[in-house]
Structure 1
Amino acid sequence: MPSLPQNAVLIPIDMQQAFDAAPWAPRWNKKLDENGLALLAAWRAASRPVIHVCHDSAEPNSTLRPDRPGNALRTGFEPQAGEPLVRKSVNAAFIGTDLDLRLRRLGVDTIVLFGISTDMCVSTTVRVGANLGYRVFLVEDACDCFDLPDGDGGTIAARDVHRAHVATLRHEFATVLTTADAIAGL
């Protein structure tokens, strides 16, 4: 397990309430909140930086619109004093936001990511972060995603979607960790 630099920033992505109800499809990771909250507690106890990311959808009927209750962060995932909240409207947390500027001003070269959903906003943020030159760690057991239609009338199980995306990210874009590994790396 690699040691994480003192200024490695923990970035929870889209830990929002909307994902618990329709129209969102079933998810697989029953330990998402438990693992995410453990990461936040460990980062805070170690006085390490945290930057939260929230999706503010511009889609008219989205449950993630800023004026909808589902836009709110899940219980326990709200920023604490000194923890910024970056609001995005596309998949990548770096696009159309000041996340890169915030990280550069902190002198950060390492980011640790988790959240919803593995195959969309988490994956896209991992990829863009790596392309911007950050050393990226993905905490796989603190991510979750949804069952997806396969285009032929069937469904790809969320767990399989997650596994395929983690494999791709591990191959080229990120070091993949468990929650226990990330905490031990502090």
Structure 2
Amino acid sequence: MTQIALLVIDVQESFRVRENWSAVNHPDIADRVDRLVHAARAKGDLVIWVLHTEPGTGGAFDPVNGHVRFIDGLEPLADEPVLRKTSHNAFTTTNLQQLLTQQGIRELVISGIRTEQCCETTTRVASDLGYDVVFVTEATATTPLPHWTLPADAPLADVLADPRTLFPETVVERTEYVLAGRFATIRTLDEVAPAVMAS
């Protein structure tokens, strides 16, 4: 029985239809995640897929609009769980913990969108629940983070022009700082994928 699971968090079309996707740090996120998926499958580890939904909002994460689906090129196998969440972390509104317990999984590998939001939050919760967590920053993606005083619908041009905006490289660095040694072990894509395939 496998004791490691790869979580693919929110690598969905919902993000690609938003204006700020043009400023994403890893536009090839699907390829990066797919590399981890193939490595996990080669080892026999479980791959768990997560989609973020916001029913009734009318936005990009509302399932009725058709964007709550994995980015083209990513395809779960028939026996790989697909969970739908409405919280930032992948535990609170899903049966993820029950699934992991049933499978005897004690270690999680984290990938997905966004680095500092759903990926980081899932990592923190997982660590507090007693899981060993590997955070593959290079297999996560994020966009510029506007200052909290900007309106939620501020145009991307305004976000990019604001000197208070945190750009992806800063967001990523801060995420690694707060996770490393406390909630997760930070690993590169090169470190994780070959290790999984060679085991």
C-alpha distance 59-150 of structure 1, shift in aligned 2 (>3 A): farther
Shift of 1:89: 0.3
Structure 1 residue corresponding to 2:59, chosen from 59, 62, 67: 62
Structure 1 residue corresponding to 2:14, chosen from 12, 18, 21: 18
How much identity, in percent, do the aligned residues show? 29
Shift of 1:65: 1.1
Q: CA RMSD in A?
A: 1.8
Structure 1 residue corresponding to 2:4, chosen from 2, 8, 13: 8
State the match for 2:106 in structure 1.
109
Structure 2 residue corresponding to 1:44, chosen from 41, 45, 50: 41
Higher Rg:
2
Task: Give the TM-score, by structure 1 length.
Answer: 0.91
1:41-84 CA distances to partner (integer Å, 9 max, x unpaired)? 11122222111111011361320111122211111223112100
Q: How does 1:111-130 map to 2 (within 5 A)?
A: 111-130=108-127
Q: Which amino acid aligns with 2:187?
A: L
2:44 alignment partner, SS class: coil
Q: Structure 1 residue 139 and structure 2 residue 136: aligned?
A: yes
1:130-149 CA distances to partner (integer Å, 9 max, x unpaired)? 00000001111000111011
State the match for 1:175 in structure 2.
185
Return 5+ residue gaps in structure 2 as ranges. 150-161
Task: Point out the more displaced range, 52-61 or 21-30.
Answer: 21-30
1:71 alignment partner, SS class: coil
1:164 alignment partner, SS class: helix
State the alpha-carbon separation in 1 of the partners of residues 2 and 101 from structure 2: 15
2:46 alignment partner, SS class: coil
Q: Structure 1 residue 164 and structure 2 residue 160: aligned?
A: no
Task: Give the TM-score, by structure 2 length.
Answer: 0.85
State the alpha-carbon separation in 1 of the partners of residues 56 and 142 from structure 2: 20
Q: Which amino acid aligns with 1:16?
A: Q
State the alpha-carbon separation in 2 of the partners of residues 55 and 24 from structure 1: 18
Q: Structure 1 residue 184 and structure 2 residue 181: aligned?
A: no
Structure 2 residue corresponding to 1:88, chosen from 71, 75, 85: 85
Task: Point out the more displaced range, 50-59 or 134-143.
Answer: 50-59
- Structure number with the higher helix fraction is 2
1:4-26 CA distances to partner (integer Å, 9 max, x unpaired)? x9421011000101211224452
Q: How many residues align?
A: 182
State the alpha-carbon separation in 1 of the partners of residues 128 and 9 from structure 2: 18
Q: Which amino acid aligns with 2:130?
A: G
Shift of 1:160: 1.1
